């Protein structure tokens, strides 16, 4: 059976992370966590890991990384790596640059941490306040092997879309998977 990766950026968030974990059930996903949120909610980071999901690094403060100095860019990545490893006992292997904004300098920084950059093939635009139906319809265009971008940022529409996306994938003979690095 072919797979599709479900990914969630910007968490963890107390308003949506527990609901997303419940909506996913036993379907694996990848959560790209922001350091400033993870430091405030280490219990949610542990819950994501305990549910068997993959945790990736999404920077400390969600800046446009190419515009930062090398030292600032390094701090964004390293600080989040250290925090997530301290909470879960495992260093993330995956990195998603905020906004998908990347260049050779970002690649060099993350390579120094043994991280693999992960972008996406489908942006559901949940971050723009679209409806649950629009999220589901956009996700439906995913091809086998694709990566769907969603957000764990307090969006009830995303939480509501997850079961419908999983059902739509299953109806196409596809299954959810975590990103592998």
Annotated catalytic, 101? no
Distance CA 14, CA 69 (A): 32
Catalytic residue among 41, 53, 58, 151: 151
Residues 175, 169: contact at Cβ < 8 Å? yes
Centre a 10 Å sphere on the Cβ of residue 102 and count the other Cβ atoms it contains: 19
Annotated catalytic, 152? no
Catalytic residue among 2, 9, 62, 113: 9
Catalytic amino acids? Answer: 9, 151
């Amino acid at each position: 059976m072919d797979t599709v990766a479900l990914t969630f950026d910007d968490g963890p968030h107390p308003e949506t992370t527990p609901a997303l974990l419940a909506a996913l059930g036993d379907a694996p996903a990848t959560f790209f966590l922001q350091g400033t949120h993870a430091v405030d909610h280490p219990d949610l980071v542990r819950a994501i890991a305990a549910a068997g999901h993959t945790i990736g690094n999404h920077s400390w403060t969600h800046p446009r990384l190419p515009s930062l100095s090398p030292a600032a860019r390094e701090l964004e990545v390293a600080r989040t790596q250290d925090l997530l490893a301290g909470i879960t006992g495992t260093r993330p292997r995956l990195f998603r640059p905020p906004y998908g904004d990347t260049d050779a300098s970002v690649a060099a920084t993350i390579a120094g941490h043994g991280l693999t950059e992960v972008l996406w093939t489908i942006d559901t635009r949940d971050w723009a306040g679209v409806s649950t139906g629009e999220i589901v319809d956009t996700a439906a265009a995913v091809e086998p092997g694709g990566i769907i971008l969603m957000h764990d940022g307090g969006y009830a529409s995303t939480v509501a879309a997850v079961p419908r996306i999983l059902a739509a994938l299953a109806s196409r003979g596809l299954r959810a998977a975590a990103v592998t690095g």
